[in-house]
Structure 1
Amino acid sequence: MTAPDRAAPAVARTPEELARIRAGLGRTALVPTMGALHTGHRGLIAAARGRADAVVVSVFVNPLQFGPGEDFERYPRAFEDDLRACAEEGVDVVYAPGVEAMYPGEQIVTVDPGPLGDVLEGAFRPGHFRGVLTVVAKLFHMVRPDVAVFGQKDAQQLAAIRRMVRDLAFGVTVVGVPTVRDSDGLATSSRNVYLSGAERTSALALSRALLAGADASVTGPVGILGAAREVLDAAAAGPVPVEPDYLALVDAHTFAEVPPDHRGEAVLLVAARVGSTRLIDNVPLTL
């Protein structure tokens, strides 16, 4: 439940303003976002609130993680609504820097995601994870959180951030929160607002495919992928086609595709376009 009578959070627009506010906080949890907050973000904030004395939510649409022709310019921006949501959820600080504050000059030094950045989302969005890791690293330095909370819907992103934290010795505990879904099963996403009614109906094939794959988990990787692909193939032939970029069953840590005899943790992922909107979803499995 929300608490509309909570005080408005402090707002910092520059690293200097943030540093002054941060000095008065105790154990701090960071929830990095690009704004357009929805119920999934509220779940992240709730998870953060239970792990720290103070919660900082960053709101920054990061140009470094968008490629040519992607939706940087039209990405939903609703800061006043975001601020109200943060107040309702008991957020202490909202860090909302402009591009000039985050990138005061050309960003020459960036964070290389390694092999994880070249597959799946990394293959379809070259440079995306380099941009994600670079901005997250900068936020970690600016906010100095004890805990950082991310959604498992962006499973590959979460894995890349965990690897960066481990390999570069960031003193941050990374927490992953299970995917939040709307009542119809669609994973919550800021990009869902792009969908028309008919497109949203078609987009439900993503979660149905994942559920079909999960239900077939006892049959092993080949059966899982076959069951999920059958749903996607039917959706591709529908009146509002679902156009998959990939369907993959991968190792939960390396994101390499699993062999047919795989046993243990895995993640079933899908990315697809519905109309002009690109959506991703996934479900963790144990084989």
Structure 2
Amino acid sequence: MNVPLPSSSPPSPCKFTLASLGRALATGWRTFAAHPRPSMAWALPFAIVALLLWLILGQAAVAPMALAVSGGFMLIGPLLLVGYFELADCNARGETAGLAQALAAYRRAPAGLWAMGAICAFFYLIWITDAATLYGFIVGGEARGFATLLAPATEVRRFVLWSSLMGAALAFMIYAVTAFAVPLLHYRRATLIPAVALSVRTVFGSFPAALAWGLLLAGGGIASIIVLPLFPVVFPVLAYASHALYREALQERQP
């Protein structure tokens, strides 16, 4: 497949609405239904990593931290979308979609996309460090298994509240920066700084719908990690829906 050349004129954003989100989700489901096996297979390694993290936190008796770790997925999730963008494009062209195509998207990724990935990973590490510090201050060193989450003590509820507020602010910042910058970089429609600026403009230009979409992504992502068997279905659908929303919000045609 030919790699598109960087465009000298990045696309201009247009407003999108709540109805746009419905159309994007419908497209996301249709794309997933057309290629369920590679879609689920691409999500499976990340589901396994999430399971291992939960097991480690449970073994360390700091189970409430699992909620913070799951919430932090929003900080690195955008970089996992690139493989799904490639699968969606294969589907639109009527080509065979498989893991090889998803992996190829990363081999062709421009430097700006890797830089974006490094930034997201850095902020994820900051978030985990801050959440662990907050956990130490509020919950302390008492052993907390997953059973304690069924009837959480006051200090656990306080930790969940304050970590959620902290995480939401950081997640929204990353969301505004990456939501449309990642596909712009993937399709080489802009370099790093213009892509970030255009992403922020697009989010704030359709703020109510963009906020609703961010909440849906966060809620769907966290819920599917907590109920892990849902992840290989929910995450691909949301990824394909993000691809469709990018196409509509920036009036981009299929390559």
TM-score range, shorter chain: under 0.3
More helix by share: 2
Larger relative contact order (CA 8 Å, sep ≥ 6): 2
TM norm structure 1? 0.25
Q: State the TM-score, normalizing by the size of structure 2.
A: 0.27
- Which structure shows the bigger proportion of residues in strand conformation? 1
